[in-house]
Amino acid sequence: MKKLSAIIIAVLILTVSVIFIVATETSVDASSRVELQDKKSEKESCCSSDIEEVSMSDLTENSLYQLNSEWTNQFGNKINLTKLKGKKQIVTMIFANCTYACPILVNDMRRIEERLSKEELRNVRFTLFTIDPERDTPEKLKEFAQNQNLNLSRWQLLTSSKSDIADLAALMGFRYKRENDGSYSHSNIISILNEDGELIHQQVGLSQDIEKTLNVIRNQNKQGA
Amino acid sequence: MKTLINISLFILLTASIVYAKKPSEHIPDMVKISAGTYTPLYVNDTTDQSEKVDAFLIDKYPVTNKEFLEFVKENPKWRKSNVNKLFADERYLSHWYDDLTLGKNVNPDAPVTNISWFAAKAYAESLGKRLPTVAEWELAAQADESNPNGYANPKYVARILEWYSKPSSKNLPAVGSVFENYYGAYDMHGLVWEWTSDFFNALVSGESRADGGINRNLFCGTGSVGATDFTNYPAFMRFAFRSSLKANYTTESLGFRCAKDIN
């Protein structure tokens, strides 16, 4: 009799522990799934509320805006990368504390700006992405823009997370490395993106002849018109 | 009564062992790499460019085909028929039979290759991890079986070089098959090349870009360039390999493993 009850109790305990294990496992799975869903809806809601017209399906396959990353401009406003769609973008990557190459790169872009007619400029924007998100706050970027006399109706300066910056740099073949003195070694590349955000031309090196770049911008303008 | 207690104790013990073992299937093994200093191969001779690396965790093994298959099941945009070519070129997962089938010739426990930087990064992020930096990877890979600095041992360097000189095999063996280093990480050399988060910091011009020389006009900050260690030929090869990479590039000998900050 004693033996029988012992077996019954043992079976009961076994059942309970199995149920306990299964329940814990599934609850872990379920909670991580809920977490995933939360993350997903968070991402969707932020982007759909932020951008009016551009949806991911409007983007061409080669559009860099497929990254769909979140950026902050020099005024502290959040901007999804897809918002750059619709105008040609002349872009490069900089860090505001840069003493040598970045001012030259920016000046190269300004030389392009000066050579374009008012008509042509209507379809063109100039965008600087920072590679130094730790120090380049929106305020710092605004200050950089002022120091460089950038016309903020045509120029914008954007910062984001390290990871999103790396993604964009990778798509543009822009290489950079932080040095111990806080400066960055980096490629000197100006990239031209068409209205869809596709990379159509790169000007490599500082103080280069801008004729080819101008041609690309103008020809694309004609095609677009 | 005694038997009753014995039996229930036994059951509880078994249950707790079973339970304790389960989660380890969900958290792939990682090992701790102690803090250290990494000196990049090429340095600007005017400033000290050695890099301090905090202690961090790195996967014990490269990520396997089987593990990556789980990831693409959950993330349809990373299936090979769906993936955007900007993020992975046409060879992406080309050794798999189809989107969700590895096929007979693929060892599920072999490291996944034909994988782009974007895909590797997305996989790591899906697990709350990240890719190791070049400095972190190099620090972990410096260790041989018994010493955190294996490069002090010429035999170790020679062994790595021998691995590099072998043609890569189509049929990669399972992870864990090459060697376990001082930290308990397996196959840091000898199985596949591995992606790093900042591979793009290897600054050389080249390919079709302009004049091909390292030039201050092309790369700010690399005006004067010198190598720090001429004896470590394998390190040169890794540097050269990284500088040839593009983020959507995939090849059958390039895989990855993940890293994580401590706490």
Mean pLDDT check: name the lowest of A192-201, B10-19, B52-61, B190-199.
B10-19
Helices A101-115 and A211-224, packing angle to 10 deg: 50
Specify the pTM. 0.76
The closest of B151, B68, B76 to B110, measured between CA atoms, is B68
The closest of B58, B53, B61 to B31, measured between CA atoms, is B58
Verify whether the Cβ–Cβ distance A188 to B219 is below 8 Å: yes
DSSP chain B: -HHHHHHHHHHHHHHHHHHHHGGGGTS--EEEE--EEE--SEE-TTS---EEE--EEEESSPPBHHHHHHHHHH-GGGSTTT--TTTS-TTTTTTSSBTTB--TTS-TTSBP-S--HHHHHHHHHHTT-BPPPHHHHHHHHT--SS-S-GGGSHHHHHHHHHHHHSPPPSSPPPTTSS-B-TTS-B-SSSS-EE--TTGGG-----TTSTTSS--TTTEET-SS-EES-TT-HHHHHHHHHHHH--TT---TTEE---EEE--
Mean pLDDT check: name the lowest of A14-23, A107-116, B24-33, B82-91.
A14-23
Distances (CA, A) of A166 to A129, A178, B201, B239: 11, 12, 11, 19
CB-neighbour burial class of residue B228 (10 A; exposed 0-12, middle 13-18, buried 19+): middle
Verify whether the Cβ–Cβ distance B118 to A180 is below 8 Å: no
The predicted complex's ipTM stands at 0.76
Verify whether the Cβ–Cβ distance A207 to B15 is below 8 Å: no
Write the CATH number for A79.
3.40.30.10
**How far off is chain A from B112, nearest CA to CA, in Å?**
22
What is the model's pLDDT at position B241?
Answer: 84
The closest of A93, A120, A59, A62 to A190, measured between CA atoms, is A93
Both A73 and A21 in one domain: the answer is no
Residues of chain A positioned with their CB less than 8 A from the CB of B81: none
Both A180 and A75 in one domain: the answer is yes
Higher pLDDT: B39 or B137? It is B137
CB proximity under 8 Å: A 162-221 to B: 163, 166-167, 169-171, 173-181, 183-188, 204-207
Residue with structure tokens 């062994």? B159
Q: For the residues B233-241, what does the mean pLDDT come to? A: 82
Both A181 and A110 in one domain: the answer is yes
Domain positions in chain B: 28-261
What is the model's pLDDT at position A53?
Answer: 55
Letter for the amino acid at A79? I
**How far off is chain A from B171, nearest CA to CA, in Å?**
30
Q: Is A10 near chain B, with CB under 8 Å?
A: yes
**pLDDT tens-digit readout, A171-203:** 999 999 888 788 888 889 999 999 999 999 999
Both A24 and A112 in one domain: the answer is no
Both A198 and A100 in one domain: the answer is yes
**How far off is chain B from A200, nearest CA to CA, in Å?**
14
Higher pLDDT: B233 or B58? It is B58
Residue A55 lies in a domain: no
Residue A56 lies in a domain: no
Both A79 and A27 in one domain: the answer is no
What is the model's pLDDT at position A72?
Answer: 98
Both A102 and A149 in one domain: the answer is yes
Verify whether the Cβ–Cβ distance A6 to B3 is below 8 Å: yes
Higher pLDDT: A41 or B70? It is B70
Both A71 and A29 in one domain: the answer is no
Q: For the residues A2-6, what does the mean pLDDT come to? A: 63
**How far off is chain A from B161, nearest CA to CA, in Å?**
27
**pLDDT tens-digit readout, B60-89:** 999 999 999 999 999 999 999 999 999 999
HEC profile for A138-190?
Answer: HHHHHHHHHHCCCCCCCEEEEECCHHHHHHHHHHHCCCEEECCCCCEEEECEE
Both A37 and A71 in one domain: the answer is no
Verify whether the Cβ–Cβ distance B218 to A188 is below 8 Å: yes
For residue A23, what are the domain limits? Answer: 1-50
Structural domain count of chain A: 2
Q: Is A23 near chain B, with CB under 8 Å?
A: no
Six-digit token string for B80: 């090979």
**pLDDT tens-digit readout, B131-175:** 999 999 999 999 999 999 998 888 998 899 888 887 766 689 999
**pLDDT tens-digit readout, A94-132:** 999 988 888 899 999 999 999 999 999 999 999 999 999
Six-digit token string for A188: 């000197």
Both A46 and A87 in one domain: the answer is no
Domain at B28-261: CATH architecture: Alpha-Beta Complex (3.90)
Both A94 and A203 in one domain: the answer is yes
Helices B117-126 and B65-74, packing angle to 10 deg: 80
| Separation between Cα atoms, residue A196 and residue B98, nearest integer Å | 31
Both A152 and A217 in one domain: the answer is yes
